[in-house]
Amino acid sequence: MKKIGVLTSGGDSPGMNAAIRAVVRKAIYHDIEVYGIYGGYSGLISGNIKKLELGSVGDIIHRGGTMLHSARCPEFKTKEGQQQGISQLRAFGIEGLVVIGGDGSYRGAKALTEQGFPCIGVPGTIDNDIPGTDVTIGFDTALNTVIDAVDKIRDTATSHERTFIIEVMGRNAGDIALSAGLAGGAETILIPEENYDMNEIAERLRKGQERGKKHSIIIIAEGVSSGVEFGKQLKEATNLDVRVSVLGHIQRGGSPSASDRVLASRLGARAVELLIEGRGGRTVGIENNKLVDYDIIEALDKQHKLDLELYKLSKELSI
Ligand code: F6P
Q: What would the pLDDT profile of 244-287 be if each residue is shown by its tens digit?
A: 999 999 999 999 999 999 999 999 999 999 999 999 999 999 99
Is residue 226's pLDDT more than 90? yes
The reported pLDDT for the residue numbered 303 is 86
Which pLDDT score, from 0 to 100, does residue 319 have? 80
Helix (H, G, I), strand (E, B) or coil at 313: helix
Q: Which of 126, 137, 169 is the best mutation target for the ligand 1 pocket, counting ligand atoms within 8 Å of the beta carbon and taking the most?
A: 169
pLDDT range class, residue 232, cuts 50, 70, 90:
very high
User: How many A from CA of 287 to the centre of ligand 1?
Assistant: 25
For the segment 95-101, the average pLDDT, to the nearest whole number, is 98
For residue 209, name the pLDDT band (cuts at 50, 70, 90).
confident
pLDDT, the chain, mean: 96
Dihedral (CA of 278, 282, 283, 288) sign: negative
User: How much of the chain exceeds pLDDT 90, in percent?
Assistant: 94
Confidence of residue 223 (pLDDT cuts 50, 70, 90): very high
- What is the rounded average pLDDT of the residues 146-166? 97
The answer, yes or no, to whether any atom of ligand 1 lies below 6 A from the CB of 127, is yes
pLDDT-based confidence at residue 318 (cuts at 50, 70, 90): confident
Q: What are the structural domains, with CATH classification, of the chain?
A: 3-138+256-301 (3.40.50.450), 140-253 (3.40.50.460)
**Pocket of ligand 1 contains residue 113 by CB under 6 Å:** no
Average pLDDT, stretch 126-131?
96
Those residues with Cβ within 8 angstroms of residue 153's Cβ, 6 or more apart along the chain or in another chain = 164, 166, 217, 245
- Does the pLDDT of residue 185 top 90, yes or no? yes
Give the residue, 221 or 241, on which the prediction is more confident: 221
How far apart are the CA of 11 and the centre of ligand 1, in A?
A: 5
C-alpha span between 269 and 161 (Å, rounded): 50
pTM for this entry: 0.97
Q: For the residues of 223-246, what is the DSSP string, one character each?
A: TT--HHHHHHHHHHHH---EEEEE
pLDDT in tens, 167-179: 999 999 999 999 9
